[in-house]
Amino acid sequence: MNTITITGNLGRDPETRQAGSKNVVSVSVAVSQGKDKPSMWLDVSAWEDGYTAWAANELSAARKGQKVVVSGRLSMREWTDKEGKPRQSWGITAQDVERVAPKIERDEIPGGSSKRYSSDKKADVIEDEDVPW
């Protein structure tokens, strides 16, 4: 079974292009390998077809710098560049994509709380007399 899951940040906004009769969304994702090591870059593509259409929609809604979790098939592409040197790149054909909400820094939270929030929206307070049962 060929399955991989990564967490990384988009290196550019997604691009959608036509490939035959189907659309494909493509982007580069930087995956951290640790504090003192360079990031690993992977090409990610998702097809707007069948059961992978959700992944393509999620990927196309993401923006440069946003953190994503991508699951799919790992593949290697080999080619020869203009100077005649053999090249290779690794990529993922996405089957599932999740956009991760950005963290709000501690200074942005009223009262300096150490809790983390994924949104600055506050929940509506419902009073007991408003509940119909």
Examine residue 108 and state whether it is found in any structural domain, yes or no: no
- Which domain CATH number covers 58? 2.40.50.140
| Residue 50's pLDDT band (cuts 50, 70, 90) | confident
Establish if 120 belongs to a structural domain: no
Q: Is residue 130 part of a domain?
A: no
Distance from C-alpha of 104 to C-alpha of 8, rounded to nearest angstrom = 18
- CA dist 61 and 97 (Å) reads 11
Residue 54, domain member (yes or no): yes
* Total number of domains constituting the chain: 1
Decide: helix, strand or coil at residue 123: coil
pTM above 0.95, yes or no: no
DSSP letter for 112, please.
G
| Parent domain of 68 | 4-102
Helix, strand and coil percent figures for the chain, each rounded to 5:
15, 45, 40
> Could you tell me if residue 88 is inside a domain?
yes
Give the pLDDT confidence of 34-48 residue by residue, as tens digits: 889 999 999 999 998
**If you average pLDDT over residues 35-63, what whole number do you get?**
89
Structure tokens at 122: 């506050």
